[in-house]
Structure 1
């Protein structure tokens, strides 16, 4: 069933029952994958009808847990998609730390954390960037999931060695400790990770988040529910907060909420000034009391201004350049000798944009001015685009004492917009050609219009298909994990059977007397070394053969009646002496003890012959 097909009312009744009886609302999940997982659980308990399955849930409360474990596929791992995590560590985390003060707290949210691997991956990345001591002092990681059983496992922070195959060996040594044959995340760092239950659809989001990681979770929800969750994420993030999604998830229709940082690796930044901000999600945050005495504040401000990754200059009330950070010096070729010069004498006053008119406007209107889409050809370099923000600096007396000019490099975004505009132009060109054709075919106008509308939604449909494929992949991975567990169990059972067989083999080998074990059809299933020594027939020649077909010196016609009695009577045991010829061709008298081979149920399922030469 696709998202556009009419719903199955019997299946919808199951969802309503789950919501009313247990408070789990799955109505926002994609129907195709949800129906597939419910059907899988129904087949496991041998039920075909949704109505019958509701009855089963009513009489068996334990079935809820089994169903939820089937629906909530907790496929996760440490450093899943390593390339994306490397980029997050090298680019995003380093920039996030540079934008914040040395003691400023860092709040991270791992939404849909499953059994905790993702949350502890974040802990390792940030601990490596900050060092363990500063990490414990500054970082709080909030890890949430709707699955209570998975959260219990996550809080324990204990994993099998194979779970850590994706973790570099040096990090395993540094952050994990041996624990009863398994590995536990370091207890002193584990306290920084706080686990709690949170339903992304119904519960309020956590606020003031700097980095929000939600990987391969949105793809389980339909478009309407995805939009609702993304609105909550937008509210949760700080103005410069970063959203890190899974490789199958793309924000095609939510550009007003998030700006792309790296589309390939699904990293986005919160778009400030977005229209739809859910201000009613959580209560007002507590304001931090910063009324403390900070030593060397001027020096810190100077270094922070200089180290900013965004080019910034400041002019005073007389339009004289008084400050320029390191990035501005690099981008616009400014030097220390330019500080103190009038803005009009600098190339910066007219390149990349005529600044003096905007500076005068800011001073006159006493409000910020933003200049968009400023194009500039770097000397000997590529064309770049800036967004220039001019902000008045107000003194204690209310007058304008200067103007801050910030140049945000939006080249990557502009190029993406150009690519999208080009693609749009191509679509418009194709549409115009279709329209010119439609003038001759007026009867097909409505069908062509419908086709154009479908083209506009093709990207979202393709994305939905990709998410569905990724969902199926995770279901297959979950099934593979179950098969791996079964395989491990079978391997253990095989090892135990091998040990038992070795033990029985050692008993038969240790007996000096000849021992023959027969099945119910008198075929040889065991032939020990004593029998080889007595009759000169090797084990591989005897096993599998009918006793009466063996060419040995024992008068088998005389043995056959007692064997039949042993096969017929589970309590039968007798001893006979027979004249025979041993492997050396000598006449001997052989003492033969014949008894029944009994099963655990006390039934005869074979016979045992014990033979030795009688003195």
Structure 2
């Protein structure tokens, strides 16, 4: 018999066990299976968000419940790829939130350049965490190229994009985009940094040489590199608050002295992390590392 058909006696009264009991058990088993088969750490995500994303694939595969979907997941490697893509999906475009990029272009990058102007090795290192298909990474590369101009070769520019989704990273490396993700990009930028191929735009080789992409799980993998600017927007909101705070502290550790940290407009610094950064532009969620 199914658990939800049992009746328990509580305080002398017969009460039907929660009909969601079996579903909850199946869901927990599914979460463990997803973690084991894909490496995606389900336990650290907000359950409501995770369940919404899982349900997308349950419906797409015609599964009647989590138990049936688990069977599909185990026998179909392609479904594991679809699931990871659904769990990590991000809405992305070039220069998303133009007002934030304006602060980065007009203030943050010039300050970083100025701070390195007298250095023997003029190095600027940037990390886009949760970069999805690479639009943010290439947007930053465009800004660096525009601002430095002829002085670009005097600097060692390193822009790293990381994500947990290997399919998204492969698309980022290819650097081919549909026009809809370029809606916040002016015509001059399109002409200078893209090669139009039918209805698609190919990133120029000069930008590809400035960036690199690699798989990285923010939760389970530490970062030993040091950066001058870290951008992690609209990623932290999917995690539980204690995880958000720990990740913010991790980003603090990964920043160089005077480094900048940018988060999404719907995100805030939490707990101890809120004391490790000082606001540079609160409206655009731009912060500076406090030593």
- TM-score bracket for the superposition, by shorter chain length: 0.7 to 0.9
TM-score after normalising by structure 2 = 0.86
Per-residue CA distance 1:153-203 (angstroms, 9 max, x = gap): 000111123321211111111111234552211102211101100000011
Q: In the alignment, what sits opposite 2:179?
A: 161
Q: Secondary structure at the match of 1:98?
A: helix
Q: In the alignment, what sits opposite 2:276?
A: 257
Kindly state the Cα deviation for residue 61 of structure 1 after the two structures are TM-superposed: 2.2
Cα 1:18–1:46 shift into 2, 3 Å: same
Runs of 4+ in 1 over 4 A off after TM superposition: none
Asked if structure 1 preserves the Cα contact closer than 8 Å seen for 2:128 and 2:230, the reply is yes
Higher mean alpha-carbon deviation, 97-106 vs 64-73, is at: 97-106
Rounded Cα–Cα distance in structure 2 between residues aligned with 1:135 and 1:153? 27
Identify which of 79, 85, 110 aligns with 1:94.
110
Matches within 5 A, 1:111-510: 111-131=129-149, 134=152, 137-179=155-197, 181-253=199-271, 254-272=273-291
Q: In the alignment, what sits opposite 1:104?
A: 122
TM-score after normalising by structure 1 = 0.42
Kindly state the Cα deviation for residue 226 of structure 1 after the two structures are TM-superposed: 1.0
Per-residue CA distance 1:310-336 (angstroms, 9 max, x = gap): xxxxxxxxxxxxxxxxxxxxxxxxxxx
Per-residue CA distance 1:445-504 (angstroms, 9 max, x = gap): xxxxxxxxxxxxxxxxxxxxxxxxxxxxxxxxxxxxxxxxxxxxxxxxxxxxxxxxxxxx
Q: In the alignment, what sits opposite 1:39?
A: 55
Per-residue CA distance 1:503-547 (angstroms, 9 max, x = gap): xxxxxxxxxxxxxxxxxxxxxxxxxxxxxxxxxxxxxxxxxxxxx
Rounded Cα–Cα distance in structure 1 between residues aligned with 2:75 and 2:154? 48
Rounded Cα–Cα distance in structure 2 between residues aligned with 1:73 and 1:66? 10
Rounded Cα–Cα distance in structure 1 between residues aligned with 2:167 and 2:214? 11
Q: Secondary structure at the match of 2:132?
A: coil
Rounded Cα–Cα distance in structure 2 between residues aligned with 1:203 and 1:23? 11
Cα 1:135–1:129 shift into 2, 3 Å: farther
Query: Which consecutive unaligned segments of at least 5 residues does structure 2 have?
Result: 1-20
**1:84 aligns to 2:100 (yes or no):** yes
Asked if structure 2 preserves the Cα contact closer than 8 Å seen for 1:116 and 1:143, the reply is yes
Q: In the alignment, what sits opposite 1:60?
A: 76
Per-residue CA distance 1:206-252 (angstroms, 9 max, x = gap): 52200001111111111121122112111110011100111111114
Cα 1:89–1:64 shift into 2, 3 Å: same
Asked if structure 2 preserves the Cα contact closer than 8 Å seen for 1:207 and 1:235, the reply is no
Per-residue CA distance 1:67-102 (angstroms, 9 max, x = gap): 112111121111111111111211211222222225
Rounded Cα–Cα distance in structure 2 between residues aligned with 1:80 and 1:161? 14
Rounded Cα–Cα distance in structure 1 between residues aligned with 2:154 and 2:240? 38
- Aligned-residue CA RMSD (Å): 1.9
Asked if structure 1 preserves the Cα contact closer than 8 Å seen for 2:245 and 2:269, the reply is no
Asked if structure 2 preserves the Cα contact closer than 8 Å seen for 1:10 and 1:51, the reply is yes
Rounded Cα–Cα distance in structure 2 between residues aligned with 1:77 and 1:91? 22
Q: In the alignment, what sits opposite 2:11?
A: none
Asked if structure 2 preserves the Cα contact closer than 8 Å seen for 1:113 and 1:119, the reply is yes
Kindly state the Cα deviation for residue 12 of structure 1 after the two structures are TM-superposed: 2.1
Query: Which consecutive unaligned segments of at least 5 residues does structure 1 have?
Result: 1-5, 273-615
Identify which of 44, 50, 64 aligns with 1:48.
64
Kindly state the Cα deviation for residue 137 of structure 1 after the two structures are TM-superposed: 4.1
Identify which of 1, 15, 26 aligns with 2:42.
26
Asked if structure 1 preserves the Cα contact closer than 8 Å seen for 2:125 and 2:227, the reply is yes
Asked if structure 2 preserves the Cα contact closer than 8 Å seen for 1:177 and 1:183, the reply is yes
Q: Determine which structure has greater relative contact order: mean sequence separation of CA pairs < 8 Å that are 6+ residues apart, divided by chain length.
A: 2
